[in-house]
């Protein structure tokens, strides 16, 4: 397998819950050239380059490199265990021996009626700007009104509604 993903990127998209050990790793599917992560609330499919002899497995996050520079020079063999090679050094890790959930069962099969682009830095800025609720929750309701329209958001803080919008960006 070949990928430029780092440990931080993978860990950010995996569960931290010890009661969900399969979700604490990345599900590698060589036939689909895909690495899937899930934290119980979001699923991300990353494209990867698979090797011919790689096997399907749940990879521990620690097999991935810490830096993007390291990732550029890393190669993986996923067969019986995870093996990462980087500049002559080898790192080995055992697979997570759990069953990965059937994420396809919860993935919508219909195409979206429209697509809208959201600047991720603005979305992060929004998340940072909103206060947490009394239950330490930072949930935000997003409303997609119409194609190329602003995305409306709202949340409740101390029984007060905080609302606004995020302007769309052009997708290439």
The pair of structure tokens assigned to 145 is 């009104």
Dihedral sign for Cα 75, 80, 42, 134, please. negative
The larger pLDDT score, comparing residue 156 to residue 97, is at 97
Least confident of 23-32, 43-52, 100-109, 146-155: 146-155
pLDDT of residue 103: 86
Supply φ then ψ for residue 151, to 5 degrees: -95, 120
pLDDT at 115 over 80: no
pLDDT average, residue stretch 107-136? 76
**Residue (of 20, 141, 3, 24) closest to 84 by Cα position:** 3
pLDDT average, residue stretch 163-168? 75
pLDDT of residue 75: 96
Supply φ then ψ for residue 97, to 5 degrees: -95, 65
**Residue (of 151, 153, 110, 106) closest to 130 by Cα position:** 153
In percent, the amount of the chain with pLDDT more than 70 equals 90
pLDDT of residue 150: 75
Q: Would you say 92 and 105 are in contact if contact means Cβ atoms under 8 Å apart?
A: no
pLDDT average, residue stretch 16-45? 94
Query: What are the tens digits of pLDDT across the range 51-109?
Result: 999 999 999 999 999 999 999 999 999 999 999 999 999 999 999 999 999 988 887 77
**Residue (of 167, 168, 166) closest to 126 by Cα position:** 166
pLDDT average, residue stretch 139-150? 73
pTM above 0.85, yes or no: no
């Amino acid at each position: 397998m070949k990928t430029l993903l780092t440990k931080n990127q993978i860990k950010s998209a995996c569960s931290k819950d010890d009661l969900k050990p399969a979700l604490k790793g990345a599900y590698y599917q060589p036939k689909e050239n895909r690495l899937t992560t899930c934290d119980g609330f979001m699923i991300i499919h990353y494209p990867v380059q698979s090797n011919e002899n790689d096997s399907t497995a749940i990879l521990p996050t620690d097999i991935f490199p810490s830096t993007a520079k390291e990732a550029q020079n890393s190669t993986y063999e996923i067969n019986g265990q995870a093996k990462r090679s980087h500049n002559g050094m080898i790192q080995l890790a055992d697979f997570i021996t759990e069953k990965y959930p059937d994420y396809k069962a919860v993935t919508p099969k219909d195409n979206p009626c429209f697509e809208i682009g959201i600047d991720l830095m603005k979305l992060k800025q929004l998340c940072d700007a909103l206060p947490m609720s009394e239950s330490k929750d930072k949930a935000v309701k997003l409303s997609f009104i119409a194609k190329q329209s602003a995305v409306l958001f709202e949340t409740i803080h101390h029984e007060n509604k905080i609302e606004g919008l995020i302007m769309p960006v052009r997708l290439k």
